[in-house]
Each structure stands twice: as C-alpha cells, then as structure tokens.
Structure 1
C-alpha cells in the first residue's frame, strides 16, 4: 500500500510540473502595424540596412544582438541586408521593464492550492483519490517588453512601414522572446491586416 501511494504521489508531482512547463512554449504579442508604400510594396530580395539612434550607438553590443535577430526575422519575410545596394533603412527599438510581482500577486490573493504543502487522500463511492497540494505565491520577475520597427524609404526619406509589438510574461529568455516578438511584428508583411492583433508565436523547444 505504501509503495502504491508513493507511486501515485510521484505521478501527481510529475503531472503538475509537466502541465506547468507545457504552458511556456509560446509568446503572445499585441501587434499594431501601419504601411504606406506609395508604389509597389517590397518583393523578395529587397535590400535594407540598419539605422541607429545616437543612444543605440552607445550600447553597441546590445543593439548588435537586437539587429541580428531582426535581420533573421526580415530574411524570413524576404528582405535582404545589403549596405552596398540599399533601398530601405530599418530602425528597431526595444524596451524591457522588469516588474517584481506578477499582476495577480496582489494583497488578498494567496495563490492556489491549500495553505500548506502535502498530499491529500479522499474516498469516494468509486474508490480512492489522491491529490497534490502546493501553495503558490509568485515572486519571480515579470517582464514587459515593447518592440518598435520602422522602415524608411531612402529615396524619399519617408517612413513607409511601422510596426509595434507588446508582450508581457514570466519568460526570462529575452533573446528567444524578442525573436518571437519580431516574427509577430512582421506577420503579414509587407501588407499586414489593419488594427490591433494578438499573435502567438511558438518558441523552439
């Protein structure tokens, strides 16, 4: 009997954490995009180069990572980085804020589960049941990330494409999350749907 209860307890723990991990495979982003190409929108192989603000030049290494992710995301929608024969400039800005408490970790909310950890057993007419109780209060950082990408026609100097993505969550893997946000921000490029959209991008396992 003790061995059976131990096995049930182990399965309960594994099921609990497997369900928790399964919910962290995607990134949700709220995206709003605008475009005004004037002539025909850019086709496959259209060239671009990056443009930086003075503040972005100061943090060069950090911006290098962001632009590397952006280059990869733009390649997936047909754009090609080529500073020698360039048609558009691309400027990408990222802002990350760390919030110490999750939105639902407020006074008066004690998480979920019972007050103390343990295993509870119950008997019903159909047999016995077993459950796992883990009191949950989250105190890990909560991240709010904003991304803006602007594309400028170098011939006219006009911004012809603008997209914004906002994502928040507990995922701490900033580069992987930014990669997903870029894919979301460029969804439908070069002529995305008008209005706000919520886009889910799955993270590579």
Structure 2
C-alpha cells in the first residue's frame, strides 16, 4: 500500500542524502506508483499440426494452435514510479523523476525499491532526457 511505498521512497531518498524530518523539512516529496498486468504473446512460431514439442517460459505446447490455448502467452507486469520534490515555502518543483519497468515479475516489494533507486540516480542533477538504468535485484 501507500505506507509501504512511502517507506521504500524514504530508503531511496536517504541513499541520496535526503532524510525525513517533518519539523525542519525544506522540501516535500510526492511519490506515486502504478502497476498493471497484461498478456504478452511469446515470439515463437506455431507448430501447426505436425508432431513436435515447444517448451519455454512456463508452458509446453504440442500440435496445433487451438489444442492448448493460452500457452503461447505470459503475464507481464508494467510498473511506473514517480517522485516530485517541491520547495515547501514556494511549492516550486525542484526535482521530478520517473522510472518504468515491464517484465514477468510480480514481486513489487523487490521491484519498487530498485525502481526508486534507479529513478534517483544522478540526483540532484541527472542527465537530461530518457535513459536506461539497469538495477540488479538480489534473489
């Protein structure tokens, strides 16, 4: 929930030197996250009605397309996190960042902290424009 997301954000912000101090804070932080599940068709040829096996990504298919419907698709999870840092007195935005991820993993407790860390790379002056940041998530 929101409390967990805020805890993840506090940890990520602490790694770049921003500590939560409600009484003396010069900045406020707004954090948001969205998750959406969607089906992705796997990029592999159909076998037709010939004898053969196709194995991969959680499914085995034998024979034609309609024999085992749904085995050629997998569920992917699309995540987006956003952080907006504002100067409290003026409410002016001083830093804004977003990160997105699309993959087969539904473990938001592992993915969201890594995404927040990735979004904050280069804080307070990250490079302009979109960039790819790879994060290793321990298993």
Global fold match (TM > 0.5) = yes
**Higher helix fraction (1 or 2):** 1
Larger radius of gyration: 1
Aligned-residue CA RMSD (Å): 2.4
Per the alignment, in what secondary structure is the counterpart of residue 204 of structure 1?
coil
Q: Secondary structure at the match of 1:66?
A: helix
Query: Where does structure 2 lack aligned partners over 5 or more consecutive residues?
Result: 62-70
- Encode CA deviations 1:91-122: one digit per residue, 9 max, x unaligned: 011111110x22x437x8449xx93269xxxx
- Does the CA-based 8 Å contact 1:115-1:135 persist in structure 2? no
What TM-score, normalized by structure 2, do the two folds share?
A: 0.80
- How much does 1:71 deviate? 0.4
Is 1:163 matched up with 2:100?
Answer: no
Shift of residue 147, structure 1, vs aligned partner: 1.1
Q: Could you state the TM-score of these two structures normalised by the residue count of structure 1?
A: 0.55
1:82 aligns with 2:21: yes
- 1:2-41 aligned within 5 A: none
CA distance in 2, matches of 1:193, 1:143: 27
Q: Does 1:116 align with 2:53?
A: yes
1:1-205 matches, within 5 Å, as 62-99=1-38, 101-102=39-40, 104-105=41-42, 109-110=45-46, 115-116=52-53, 135=60, 137-205=71-139
**Residue 68 (structure 2) aligns with:** none
Q: How many residues align?
A: 124
Q: Deviations over 1:22-67 (max 9, x none)?
A: xxxxxxxxxxxxxxxxxxxxxxxxxxxxxxxxxxxxxxxx100100
Q: Distance in 2 between matches of 1:203 and 1:138?
A: 27
